[in-house]
Structure 1
Amino acid sequence: MISTTTLTLSKIPRSPSPTVPPPSEPNSNSSYPNLSEPSSPTQQQARRIKPSPQLNRWSMARAIRSGRKLDRPFQRRSGEINNPDSPRSRGTVDNNGFGGSALQTISPPSEDGSDGECIADYLPAGGKSIFMVSDGTGWTVEHSVNAALGQFEHCLVDRVCPVNTHLFSGIDDVDRLMEIIQQAAKEGAMLVYTLADPSVAEAAKQACKLWNVTSLDVLSPITKSIASHIGVSPSGLSRWAPGRNNSLGEDYFRRIEAIEFTIKQDDGALPENLHKADIILAGVSRSGKTPLSIYLAQKGYKVANVPIVMNVELPKALFEVDPEKVFALTINPVVLQTIRRARAKSLGFDDDMKSSYSEMGYVREDLESARRIFQQNPTWPVIEVTGKAIEETAAILLRLYHDRKNRCSMPRISKRY
């Protein structure tokens, strides 16, 4: 799967809107701009060159990285030619759509006048596209799409159905939103969006319906359900809207403080501060303590990690703190040896150092030494990290942490807003 890439909208030239007759309803008070079908390129190449699939993928990647507009011709499907019932051929929608105003007649452009070619013919060989649009950072929509794509790994990995994802963050202007939807229509892309302002979300919904763009609103359904549950109407303000200062509130500065603390406490540094930590990780070298610490710190937890090295005495403070703060990490010796060999090679260890760090005999002894320490401290939960992503290990750890802290009969991670 092609990694997420952000397109720079400032480099996308706006397409001139065609002249259209005035709306049929003079009393319309719609706050949305008139929509026109995506414009066609002004010049046509003398002959159409069909590059190889590999070259297509390279061109796509270069265009994405440079932020250039991926200007592909938009064509009607053959089944829609001269079909008045086709979504692309209908000139207007009813008054219930798009703020109560009738939309103008639109004519899908054609690059060379031949309407019989399908837009799929112009899609890049790299696969289909998903446009992710957010009026904030895009974290929610990006992780939602990635979670859903995890259900298709069986085909994505084998390149049977590759998908390109493109993130557009900070989209709080309807005009910019329309540009993105036009581009999605040209590329045959799907649009997934999280837009807090109901009017902007409705604009996206109606524009996608008009231009036949598959779309999904991630935020509105859950917002409406919560509003119904707590009996309060949502504010409808985007994350970056003027007047909202909660982005730099107490929770934000607590996370910054946690990250600073965690960095200072990395790899057993400053053991005298272990009592200040919310979570303490203990494990052998290369068992994933540091990346797990940083991930937890970004969630607001002060984390310290203490390496367990054979024949090296552990700091006394580790045994003096609340034992329910301490979590032990273990890993399969074969996997650990592979990681250590790569680490030794990157650091340029000589043969003697390699034998005392990454050879299987030493690795097994190191893990056995750590296991004996874990047995002497039975209150420390031992978490197996082999084959687990950092997020998975963190989820297990936090569930145990909050279960201990709240003494819940059902393990949960609770937070009060």
Structure 2
Amino acid sequence: MEKAIIYVVSDSVGETAEFVTKAALSQFMDENAYDLYRIPYVENIEVLRGAVYHAKQLGAMIGFTLVNPVLREFLIQEARNKQVECVDILGPMLEAMERKFHRKAKEEPGLIHRLDEDYFRRVEAIEFAVRYDDGRDPRGVMQADIVLIGVSRTSKTPLSQYLAHKRLKVANIPIVPEVDPPETLFKIPSQKCIGLRISSEKLNSIRKERLKSLGLDDTASYANMERIQEELNYFDQLIQRIGCPVIDVSNKAVEETANIILNMINQPYWNMDTREQ
């Protein structure tokens, strides 16, 4: 069977059209069963005429997001004349909103991708999470909005990245009995440090699977229950010393843990230092 061919046409980047098209295609076929070609930044009808011509020759269909009504109407009419299947992804939503809000759309391509302050804050937070991941540089502790601490395999890294997309600067520190934690942990407000607790049974299961995925023996000390208990005991001692809040992540998805943290930091006492002086 020949691959299906889809052209994605846009007067901006074309990410929206591609995402929606792929979402629809997933209901019919695997990703390797079609070829998708993106035609971005369309500014004139000649490009659209060429897209329809090639789609006709190859038996392809077209999905498009065009905010310019002239370009949008031309493509629809040209595709109809050439009997090419063509789907307007954005147009019906724009028309419905014009009726609802009683005003015309701005008709400016790419508004959603404008680099605003929120975008830069998110990028900065993501870069921060990468730079200060896994205790790589303890200086990040003092600059972070949140510091996650926990033994290995408590989802510190994915949680840091998830929170970074919420524009929070997150550093994370692995807790290992043989390694002293950075002194900066004891200098920040206690509630900005969040401990990630996990049951020994769950951790044992996770670590065994991790060793197997690496092609290693799952009886290694990394997954040994005695070693795990030693690490968890050390973690508990450290948590008592810091006096920070703790979340049990044993049976929680990253998103669930992140929501708990987001709710915590929205409390009025968040920026207060509750350490005993």
* TM-score higher than 0.5: yes
Going from structure 1 to structure 2, the CA distance change for 1:361 and 1:379 (only over 3 Å counts) comes to closer
Greater fraction helix: 2
Residue 156 in structure 1 maps to residue 30 in structure 2: yes
* Residue of structure 1 in register with 2:176 after alignment: 309
Displacement of 1:277 in angstroms is: 3.0
Counterpart AA for 1:303: V
State the shift of 1:223 in Å. Answer: 2.9
The equivalent residue for 1:217 is: 88
CA distance in 2, matches of 1:132, 1:378: 49
Offset at residue 299 of structure 1 (A): 5.7
2:65 corresponds to 1:200: no
Q: What secondary structure does 2:41 align onto?
A: coil
Q: TM-score, normalised by structure 2?
A: 0.68
Task: Confirm or deny: 8 A CA contact 2:152 2:175 kept in the other structure.
Answer: yes
- For 1:285, what is the secondary structure of its paired residue? coil
The answer to whether 1:144 aligns with 2:20 is yes
Residue in 2 aligned with 1:257?
A: 124
Look up the equivalent residue of 1:134 and give its one-letter code. Answer: S
Q: Does the 8 Å CA contact 1:287/1:336 hold for their aligned counterparts? A: no
Cα contact 1:261–1:303 (8 A) shared by 2? yes
C-alpha contact (below 8 Å) 2:133/2:171 kept by paired residues: yes
Confirm or deny that 1:361 pairs with 2:218.
Answer: no
2:181 and 2:258 map into 1 onto residues whose CA distance is: 24
Q: Cα gap change, 1:297/1:403 in structure 2, threshold over 3 Å: closer, same or farther?
A: closer
- The reply on whether 1:380 has 2:247 as its aligned counterpart is yes
- Match 1:166 to one of 25, 28, 37: 37
- Counterpart AA for 1:132: V
Instruction: Answer yes or no: is the 8 Å Cα contact 2:177–2:234 preserved in 1.
Output: no
* 1:52-67 alignment, distance < 5 Å: none
> Quick one: which amino acid aligns to residue 5 of structure 2?
S
Preserved CA contact (<8 Å) 1:286 1:340: no
Could you say if the C-alpha distance between residues 245 and 128 of structure 1 is closer, same or farther in structure 2, counting changes exceeding 3 Å? Answer: closer
2:8 partner letter: M
Q: Identify unmatched segments of 5+ residues in structure 2.
A: 268-277
Q: C-alpha deviations, 1:198-242, integer Å up to 9, x for none?
A: 222222222222222223222223333444444442210112xxx
Q: Secondary structure at the match of 2:35?
A: strand
Instruction: Provide the C-alpha distance between the structure 2 equivalents of 1:300 and 1:343, rounded to a whole number of angstroms.
Output: 33
Q: Which has the larger radius of gyration?
A: 1
Aligned in 2, Cα 1:372/1:303: closer, same or farther, shift over 3 Å? closer
CA deviation after TM superposition for structure 1 residue 126, in Å: 5.1
Q: Deviations over 1:323-374 (max 9, x none)?
A: 47747486764454343455587xxxxx9xx9344xx426982797289749
Pairs within 5 Å for 1:334-349: 334-340=205-211, 342=213
Deviation string 1:32-70 (CA, Å, 9 cap, x unpaired) is: xxxxxxxxxxxxxxxxxxxxxxxxxxxxxxxxxxxxxxx
Change (3 A) 1:262 1:190: same
Cα 1:235/1:364, change in 2 over 3 Å = farther
Aligned with residue 10 of structure 2, among 134, 149, 152: 134
Tell me: CA distance 1:253–1:343, structure 2 relative to 1, closer, same or farther (3 Å): same
User: How many residues of Structure 1 are paired with residues of Structure 2 in the alignment?
Assistant: 258
2:139 pairs with 1:268: no
Contact 1:279 1:327 in 2 (8 A): no
SS at match of 1:301: coil
Q: After the TM superposition, which residues 171-186 of structure 1 pair with which residues of structure 2 at under 5 Å, given as runs?
A: 171-186=42-57
State the distance in 1 between where 2:204 and 2:160 align. 22
The one-letter code sitting in structure 2 at the alignment partner of 1:216 is: V
Whole-angstrom distance in 1 between the partners of 2:117 and 2:193: 23
3-state SS in 1 of match to 2:5: strand
Partner of 1:14: none
- Deviations along 1:108-161, one digit per CA (max 9) or x if unpaired, are xxxxxxxxxxxxxxxxx4532232222222322233233334545xx638x8xx
Structure 2 residue 60 is matched with structure 1 residue 189: yes
Q: Which amino acid aligns with 1:268?
A: G
Question: Are the structure 2 counterparts of residues 381 and 129 from structure 1 closer, same or farther at C-alpha, using a change threshold of 3 Å?
Answer: farther
RMSD: 4.3
Letter in 1 for 2:22: N
Q: Percent identity?
A: 31
Q: CA deviation at 1:287?
A: 5.4
